[in-house]
Structure 1
Amino acid sequence: MKTPIALLAAACVLSLAACGNNEPAMDSTATPSPSPAPASTEPAPTPAETPPAATDAGTYGSDMPPAASDAPAAADTSGKPAAMVENCKTTIEGNDAMQYNVGSIAVPSSCSEFTITLNHVGKLPIAAMGHNVVISSQSDMQGVNADGIAAGAGAHYIKAGDTRVIAATEMVGGGQSTSVTFPVAKLQSGGPYVFFCSFPGHAAMMKGTISVG
């Protein structure tokens, strides 16, 4: 009886050893865990470049133009020289080219009266190229000239009794001279003042400034 019992015990030991060496089988129904996604090889997008700020001119990189300056204009823009003054007198010229030879007259403040002499150095007669000298304020010049033209040649192109006229010579032709004397006090308030020729169409070119200094 002992021998069969010993064989049975040996068989049990062998069976247990065989069970210990076998690994448990994988469950075919188990869900496999997902594998991690491969890293992207494309470069990351770069942010859009910011354009340069626009200037005040409205375009990139453009320079603003320099500000215009407001420099005052000279009173005498004719480019002609000033009249020569001596002993409260001056002599100026008019010619057949419809021009005075000076662009300004400066009357000394020490003078109580002042005399202007006009020499017509041309050859044409009064009817074709007459000249005179009329003095008024700059603001009155246009009206005085227009009314003088309407007055006609018989009035030397000066309206009779025109209080806007400070002084005026008669009209002269080529080779003739004329003059006028007036109180300097008439130029010492208001202004600015001008002298011009009132023959029709001449004032646009034959004019200048007159002042007390």
Structure 2
Amino acid sequence: MKSRIFLALLLIGGASAAHASDTCSVSLEGNDAMKFNATNIDVPKSCTNFTINLKHAGKMAKNIMGHNVVVAKTADMAGIDSDGMKAGLAADYIKAGDTRVIAHSKVVGGGETTSLSIPVARLTAAAAPLSFFCSFPGHATMMKGTVTLK
């Protein structure tokens, strides 16, 4: 009985946080319903670099329902998103040289994957609440979460 309860709690916990396949990386999925499979990414402070592996689990093309992952201070999300829309798909919806962006991946379509590596020192130096989000136009309102240094 205790093992069933533990297993149920483990499964429930998995629905809200991205799990690291090792201590310095995480797998994140986005889908055609404009949802990430996680609302928080834990980054160990002991890592030198942290990798986010993004998989587009849907079927739609990147020009219709593309996804990327952007890491930034939570307070900068709206500005990055707004400027990114103007930059367009060719620029992965990130304004060239935007210093507010800590890290970002390319935009991928259904069935595609991409990765980004972030120096953990950049996250620590930000010294503010951090978030991750998709900067494809209109996605950031639903496809976002927190980045927590542990």
Per the normalisation by structure 2, the TM-score is 0.87
Partner residue, 2:121: 185
Partner residue, 2:49: 113
| 1:96 aligned onto 2:32 | yes
Partner residue, 2:139: 202
Partner residue, 1:84: 19
Structure 1 residue 95, shift from structure 2 partner: 0.3
Contact persistence 1:187–1:211 (CA under 8 A) = no
Bigger share in helix: 2
Contact persistence 2:17–2:38 (CA under 8 A) = yes
Give the whole-Å Cα distance in 2 for the aligned partners of 1:205 and 1:142. Answer: 13
Amino acid at match of 1:145: D
SS in 2 for 1:118: strand
1:77-127 C-alpha deviation (Å, 9 max, x unpaired): xxx511111130101100000000000001011101000000001000011
Amino acid at match of 1:82: A
SS in 2 for 1:187: helix
Partner residue, 1:158: 94
1:112-159 C-alpha deviation (Å, 9 max, x unpaired): 100000000100001110000001001101000100011011111000
Structure with more relative contact order (C-alpha pairs < 8 Å, separation 6 or more):
2
SS in 1 for 2:101: coil
Amino acid at match of 1:198: S
Moved over 3 A (4+): none
Give the whole-Å Cα distance in 1 for the aligned partners of 2:93 and 2:45. Answer: 30
Give the whole-Å Cα distance in 2 for the aligned partners of 1:109 and 1:154. Answer: 33
Structure 2 unaligned blocks of 5 or more = 1-14
Alignment of 1:1-213 (within 5 A): 80-85=15-20, 86-189=22-125, 190-213=127-150
SS in 2 for 1:128: helix
Pairwise CA RMSD: 0.8
Please say which of residues 184-193 and 153-162 is displaced more in the overlay.
184-193
Same amino acid, percent of matched pairs? 54
Give the whole-Å Cα distance in 1 for the aligned partners of 2:99 and 2:48. Answer: 20
Give the whole-Å Cα distance in 1 for the aligned partners of 2:35 and 2:63. Answer: 16
Structure 1 residue 169, shift from structure 2 partner: 0.2
Contact persistence 2:23–2:44 (CA under 8 A) = no
Amino acid at match of 2:16: P
* Structure of higher CA gyration radius: 1
Give the whole-Å Cα distance in 2 for the aligned partners of 1:195 and 1:206. Answer: 8
